[in-house]
Amino acid sequence: MYNTLLFFGSVIKGINAKTATYFFLALAIGMTAIHLYDSWKDKSSERARTKPFLLILVTLYYLFSVPEPSWVLVAALCASWLGDVLLIPKGHGWFTAGGISFMFSHFLFIAVYVTRIDFKLVPFFIVIPIALIYYAIAAIVIIKVSPTTPKPMLIPMYVYLIANSTMNMFSLMQLFSNPCAGSVVAFIGAILFFISDCTLFLVRYYKNKDVVFKRHFTVMLTYVLGEFMITQGIILLTNMK
């Protein structure tokens, strides 16, 4: 991995920002395609080889796509990257550690959104019922996995899904504050992130794991698309200034 990063560094020095943007976007798409193929074939060892590069490439794409990057967003992507890496090994401990890292990423995404929210424009009579729907879905997922999940993990898992749901609500409030292509794309990304986490819990702990289509493929498809669309939404919002 170190040699790969050195390769990226040498390439960056020789290209301009616009070229680098397309270069890292192409790499991100290519690496994601390989990862999704391995996920479709359910090849765990092959999935593990490409997974650490997915968010690195999305982050590099973001850094070259805007004149002044948000380092809070970069931190959010890095926290998600760390969560990815921590989820590669098997075991409840690694799963918990990955969840903690992802929870930090949700808080950081909220910090990105909140600077773009005008709370005077937010229709809370719409946002609050939608938030309750999210929280109810999260509760249903936890109830479904509870028979086969270690009891000490159930409450932290629900708190995690609440954090993801809350991140979605801040993305929705950003959309109400500034209804445009960027905020729509970011909100769709947030929804996909929530779907990914719910499906991940079902894949990991539900007694009938086949309830999720192609299991890890669905988890990673919604996850990578979610992270990318959140990032792309912020790029669009940043560049429209």
pLDDT (tens digit per residue) in 77-104: 999 999 999 988 888 888 889 999 999 9
Q: Does residue 165 carry a pLDDT above 70?
A: yes
| CA distances to 18, 86, 118, 232 from 162, in Å | 38, 21, 23, 24
User: Tens of pLDDT along 107-141?
Assistant: 999 999 999 999 999 999 999 999 999 999 999 99
Tokens 């070229």 appear where?
19
Instruction: Tokens for 157, please give them.
Output: 């898992």
Evaluate if residue 13 carries a pLDDT over 70: no
- What is the reported pTM? 0.89
- Separation CA 87–CA 99 (nearest Å): 8
What is the per-residue pLDDT across 167-215, written as a single tens digit (0 to 9) for each?
A: 999 999 999 999 999 999 999 999 999 999 999 998 887 776 665 556 6
| Nearest residue to 130 via CA among 163, 164, 172, 158 | 172
C-alpha gyration radius of the chain: 18
Which pLDDT score is estimated for 21? Answer: 86
Q: Taking all residues of the chain, what is their mean pLDDT, rounded to a whole number?
A: 88
In the chain, the N- to C-terminal Cα span, in Å, equals 37
Which conformational region is residue 214 in: left (phi greater than 0), alpha (psi within -120 to 50 degrees), or beta? left
Question: Which residue blocks in the chain are alpha helix, DSSP H?
Answer: 2-13, 17-40, 44-63, 71-86, 92-114, 124-145, 151-177, 181-205, 216-239
